[in-house]
Amino acid sequence: MDVAHHPARWADASASSPFALCGRTALVTGAGTGIGRAISLALAAAGADLILLSEQENLDATAVGAAEMGSKVDCLRLDLGRQDRLSRIKEAFDGNSVDILVNNAGLIRRSPADEFTNEDWHDVIEVNLHAAFELSRAAGRGMLERGYGNIINIASLLSFQGGVFVSSYTASKHAIVGLTKALANEWAGRGVNVNAIAPGYVATATTEDLRADPRRAGEISARIPAGRWADPEDIAGAAVFLASPAAAYVHGHVLVVDGGWLAR
């Protein structure tokens, strides 16, 4: 086996723990709130430096928290739904060696399928799928040159189920699992790990409408064996694992973190 592609290539990150990310740089999209913020802080706690990306001016709290843990932090405001994002994505990688990419940013629009507009359909697909591929391609080129790296896509329970009134979101999350497996097939032998996390129902802004509906929220909670919705921090440990040397032989996997929902 080519030594450049062997898991020992990660050994210089830290001799103390197979989960340490010292000396690595992670780019996290949608890093200002919710799951993205929790993942960013967990990666920082594991020793990674960060490039935080958001479409909003909401990165300060994440950046300060990561810096207090000793991470070097850069912030980039970028709307991944804009057609000119490619040039801005190139800026994000200019001079930066990105070892870990977390495609977390996501968009959801709710409407019955027969009333769903083309605009809403395309807006969701642009952010959840097209931008994730473009970022993976940009990061992957450098990773392939170096012979190591990790890409983590955020999937969903709707990567396996159909959902109701969220046709574009469901389509995008099915597709992100397919993209994860396709990239893993191409890049695993060249030292790059591509995997996904499928969170269950998490208490974030995305699920605010669901949680505000007592009937629907009650139905969901009753089906979760763990007996509660996830906090964003419940997802973060899975990201640290998949980004770490401990997951060196994990390729093309979708790690479900759902409190037992799919087991029900």
pLDDT per residue, tens digit, the chain (264 aa), is 343 444 444 445 445 799 999 999 999 999 999 999 999 999 999 999 999 999 999 999 999 999 999 999 999 999 999 877 877 777 777 767 899 999 999 999 999 999 999 999 999 999 999 999 999 999 999 999 999 999 999 999 999 999 999 999 999 999 999 999 999 999 999 999 999 999 999 999 888 888 999 998 999 999 999 999 999 999 999 999 999 999 999 999 999 999 999 999
DSSP 113: G
SS3 (DSSP) at 83: coil
Q: How far are the Cα atoms of 44, 68, 215, 249 from residue 20, in angstroms, in the given order?
A: 10, 17, 43, 16
What's the pLDDT tens digit per position in 65-122? 999 999 999 999 999 998 778 777 777 777 678 999 999 999 999 999 999 999 999 9
pLDDT at 210: 85
What CATH architecture is 3-254? 3-Layer(aba) Sandwich (3.40)
SS3 (DSSP) at 123: helix
User: What are the φ and ψ backbone dihedral angles of 176, each rounded to 5 degrees?
Assistant: -65, -30
Structural domain boundaries in the chain: 3-254
* 169 part of the active site: yes
pLDDT at 8: 43
Q: Which residues of 129-142 are buried (b: 16+ CB within 10 A; e: fewer)?
A: bbbbbbbbebbbeb
pLDDT at 208: 87
Give the integer Cα–Cα distance in Å for 108 and 131. 15
pLDDT at 6: 47
Specify whether the CB–CB gap between 67 and 45 falls below 8 A.
no
pLDDT at 209: 84
pLDDT at 254: 98
Give the integer Cα–Cα distance in Å for 87 and 93. 10
pLDDT at 85: 83
